[in-house]
Amino acid sequence: MASDGRPVEQDDSDPVMEDGRVYRNPTEVQMNQIVLPCHANHRQELSVGQLLKWMDSTACLSAERHAGCPCVTASVDDIHFEHTISVGQVLNIKAKVNRAFNSSMEVGIEVSCEDLYKNQYWKVCQAFATFVARSTGQEKIHLKQLAPGTHREQVEYSVAAERRRMRLRHVDLMKDLLSSAAFQTGVSVGVSDAEGQDEDREEEVPAERTRVESVELVLPTHANHQVNTFGGQIMAWMENVATIAASRLCHAHATLRTIDMFHFRGPSQVGDRIILKAIINNTFKNSSMEVGVCAEAYQGEEPLRHINSAFMMFEVLDEEGRPRPLPPIRPEPLHGRRRYKEAIARKKIRLDRKYIISCEQTEVPLSVPWDPSNQVYLSYNNVFALKMLAGRNSWILSSKKNNVGLYTLEENQTLCFRIESQVNVPAARAFLLLSDLSRRNEWDKNYKRSEMILQVDEDDLIYHVLTPSVTQGGKVQDFILLASRRPPCDTGDPYVVALRSVTLPTHPPTDDYNRGEVLCAGFTIYEVSESVSKISYYNQTNPGVLPYIATDIAGLSSSFCSTFLLCGQYLMENRTEPSVLSSSVTTPL
Ligand code: COA
Ligand code: ADP
């Protein structure tokens, strides 16, 4: 048992309790299925629709285990399918609730596959779905909080709040980007289109040739005991029409690679007729195509209700398993042309999202250029990285002076440090003061000047920071830092100020300064009592940062302590001043 009462975790293996039992999350649900011919397509591969149904029902059972009442699928984040699964193999699905919010919960789903005869295991995909608890009456349910049982669960719990923020902004973000003037003028439709066509490609195929429409009647087997249609069933029907549209283009089997994040806009019940429509929106040079699917419901004479729209990326493989080039699409006028352009924009956003979000912090290059279309993902990556760093359980106390602790952590060839102390300042006030980077030079001699150059949104700002040279007579260093400020999402959560380098075309490196880069840094601020907070500063060092702290870590100096004492003094002096932030900090989502 760890000193904080949690079970001990060793690497990736299941954590073990003091009495020798393996720890198990109380909301975890597992499903194991042997893939039979009735679950497969004509190529003897598990159909993705069936997989989505199993994933949704496992996740729903996990959500209901926590909520204690019926739950419905509200949304599913991007899913990337890494492998196909064959008849005879065993599918294992594990789902557990990462965090409960008000009436909604984030459920993490992991899918792996096992070949019983070859004794092999592999990962198929990972997904995050949001379920909403429904009461039988009109009132909104308020779910009980989840108590993370391990450090890993604590980290998942913490980053789930940031994923929720990204999810809830997704729809607006897509709308804004697709209608933005820059995007509209940057994409043209036709043979000369930069993304879609070149001279070697075959003749264009009219998009309407790929159009599919299909109807399904919702029967009791497609719904839960509250007669609500299972989200997984709707997804399976959507995948079915999308696969037909995709295969129509190339007269070959199309493999589904990615489903974009989507939202179930309204409920459906037994007796609904579900109309599913699909068409190819665009094909791309890398042999992939985007198929859009729309699901609508009606009963009797009622008008159609929009249930869901999803965008799926397919590719076609040749006999050797290599991606096969696809013919270009000629979109229909009006909506077809709009969707054709939007598919190009979604492709860029999808790549940003996959690249920035699914990579480890150390794999995302420091020089990621910031732009409005990847802002949400860079901010997510920023906060995620800091929360992951803070959530590590192998920090070692390196030295302590005047109640300021210096901790270090060595992992994957990188050295991280944490400086920690308590101050007699309310957490909200400390957050307000520390999240304003333009005042950091008032207490940190390593910040010569810090100027806000872009207010991205209420909680994210970009600063230009100047720091003294580490070598005598050397050039001043400068940094372009994205600062993401997050108030707590719930009691027990810390305030977070996450910092990472980005690049901005408006602020390229100049001869006057040495451009430095920050991998991951920032503050977490916990409320200890109404008037006391615990402040931790984190930094994942790189060769540029190490000289500032090396002598402290080696025990040769304690400048970390004097800097942090100055920080405490600054907070004390300003503890009652009116807000001086360069912009307001919003309340949590
Ligand atoms: N992704 C994740 N969660 C979302 C979301 C999205 N795109 N949109 C809303 N939510 C969450 C909200 O954050 C809120 O969570 P909270 O209570 O923990 O704060 C919760 O859903 C309810 O939001 P609210 O604003 O009260 O309701 P709404 O009018 O936005 O409705 C749904 C949200 C999901 C309940 C509604 O769209 C719905 O009923 N969808 C159909 C669900 C369904 O039946 N699915 C099965 C297949 S049809
Ligand atoms: P949008 O038109 O903004 O893409 P919709 O929700 O109307 O959003 O549709 C989602 C996707 O479903 C479309 O991009 C398109 O690919 C497909 N779709 C919509 N309507 C039809 C239709 N009548 N026939 C075939 N496919 C359709």
Q: Convert 144-155 into a string of H (helix), E (strand) and C (coil).
A: CCCCCCCHHHHH
Q: What percent of the chain has pLDDT over 70?
A: 86
Greatest mean pLDDT among 359-363, 378-382, 472-476: 378-382
Residue 12 has a pLDDT of: 55
pLDDT of residue 303 exceeding 90, the answer is yes
Q: Mean pLDDT lowest for which of 262-266, 363-367, 456-460, 465-469? A: 363-367
Ligand 1 contacts CB of residue 73 (under 6 A): yes
Task: Tell me what the mean pLDDT of segment 221-248 comes to.
Answer: 95
pLDDT in tens, 80-110: 998 889 999 999 999 999 999 999 999 999 9
- Distance from the Cα of residue 324 to its chain's centroid: 30
Q: For residue 175, what are the contacts with CB-CB under 8 A and spacing of at least 6?
A: none
pLDDT in tens, 246-296: 999 988 899 999 999 999 999 999 999 999 999 999 999 878 999 999 999
Banded pLDDT at 577 (limits 50, 70, 90) = low
Q: Which ligand is nearest to the CA of 264?
A: 1
Task: Tell me what the mean pLDDT of segment 573-587 comes to.
Answer: 60
Residue 588 has a pLDDT of: 41
Residue pair 366/501 in contact (Cβ under 8 Å)? The answer is yes
- In the Cβ-directed half-sphere of 479, how many Cα atoms lie within 13 Å? 27
Give residue 419 CA to ligand 2 midpoint distance, Å: 53
Q: Residue 418: enclosing H or E segment and its boundaries?
A: strand 414-423
Ligand 1 contacts CB of residue 167 (under 6 A): yes
Atom of ligand 2 nearest to the CA of 281: 16
Residue 209 has a pLDDT of: 96
Ligand 2 contacts CB of residue 292 (under 6 A): yes
Residue pair 122/112 in contact (Cβ under 8 Å)? The answer is yes
Ligand 2 contacts CB of residue 279 (under 6 A): yes
Residue 360 has a pLDDT of: 57
Q: How far apart, in whole angstroms, are the C-alpha atoms of residue 577 and residue 232?
A: 53
pLDDT of residue 474 exceeding 90, the answer is no
pLDDT in tens, 306-343: 999 999 999 998 888 888 999 999 999 989 999 999 99
Q: Which ligand is nearest to the CA of 70?
A: 1
Residue 189 has a pLDDT of: 54
- In the Cβ-directed half-sphere of 455, how many Cα atoms lie within 13 Å? 10
pLDDT of residue 555 exceeding 70, the answer is no
Residue 287 has a pLDDT of: 87
**Bridge partner residues of 73 (DSSP):** 131
Task: Tell me what the mean pLDDT of segment 352-374 comes to.
Answer: 69
Ligand 1 contacts CB of residue 24 (under 6 A): no
pLDDT of residue 540 exceeding 50, the answer is yes
CA torsion through residues 110, 115, 118, 119, sign: positive
Q: Which of 337, 339, 344 to mutate to test the pocket of ligand 2 (most atoms within 8 A of CB)?
A: 339
pLDDT of residue 516 exceeding 70, the answer is yes
Q: Who wins on pLDDT, 470 or 526?
A: 526
Q: Which ligand is nearest to the CA of 331?
A: 2
pTM for this prediction: 0.84
Banded pLDDT at 362 (limits 50, 70, 90) = low
- Closest residue to atom 11 of ligand 2, CA basis: 292
Q: Which of 56, 104, 260, 272 to mutate to test the pocket of ligand 1 (most atoms within 8 A of CB)?
A: 104
Residue 195 has a pLDDT of: 46
pLDDT in tens, 441-452: 999 888 889 999
pLDDT of residue 127 exceeding 90, the answer is yes
Longest dimension (CA), the chain: 81
Residue 285 has a pLDDT of: 83
Give residue 260 CA to ligand 2 midpoint distance, Å: 14
Banded pLDDT at 21 (limits 50, 70, 90) = confident
Residue 23 has a pLDDT of: 87
Helix, strand, or coil here: 550?
Answer: helix
pLDDT of residue 528 exceeding 60, the answer is yes
pLDDT in tens, 47-76: 999 999 999 999 999 999 999 999 999 999
pLDDT of residue 5 exceeding 60, the answer is no
Task: Tell me what the mean pLDDT of segment 119-147 comes to.
Answer: 90
Q: Which of 171, 294, 334, 349 to mutate to test the pocket of ligand 2 (most atoms within 8 A of CB)?
A: 294
Residue 469 has a pLDDT of: 78
Of 521, 533, 285, 509, the closest CA to residue 414 belongs to: 521
- Closest residue to atom 46 of ligand 1, CA basis: 231
Residue 259 has a pLDDT of: 96
Residue 113 has a pLDDT of: 95
Q: Which ligand is nearest to the CA of 102?
A: 1
Ligand 2 contacts CB of residue 339 (under 6 A): yes
Q: Which of 104, 132, 269, 296 to mutate to test the pocket of ligand 1 (most atoms within 8 A of CB)?
A: 132
Residue 399 has a pLDDT of: 87
Ligand 1 contacts CB of residue 103 (under 6 A): yes
Residue 553 has a pLDDT of: 64
pLDDT in tens, 181-208: 556 555 555 544 444 444 555 688 999 9
Residue pair 391/409 in contact (Cβ under 8 Å)? The answer is no
Give residue 111 CA to ligand 1 midpoint distance, Å: 25
Give residue 496 CA to ligand 2 midpoint distance, Å: 40
∠ CA 40-45-47, nearest 5°, is 55
Q: Which ligand is nearest to the CA of 163?
A: 1
Q: What percent of the chain has pLDDT over 90?
A: 56
Which domains are present in the chain? 1-179 (3.10.129.10), 196-358 (3.10.129.10), 375-573 (3.30.530.20)
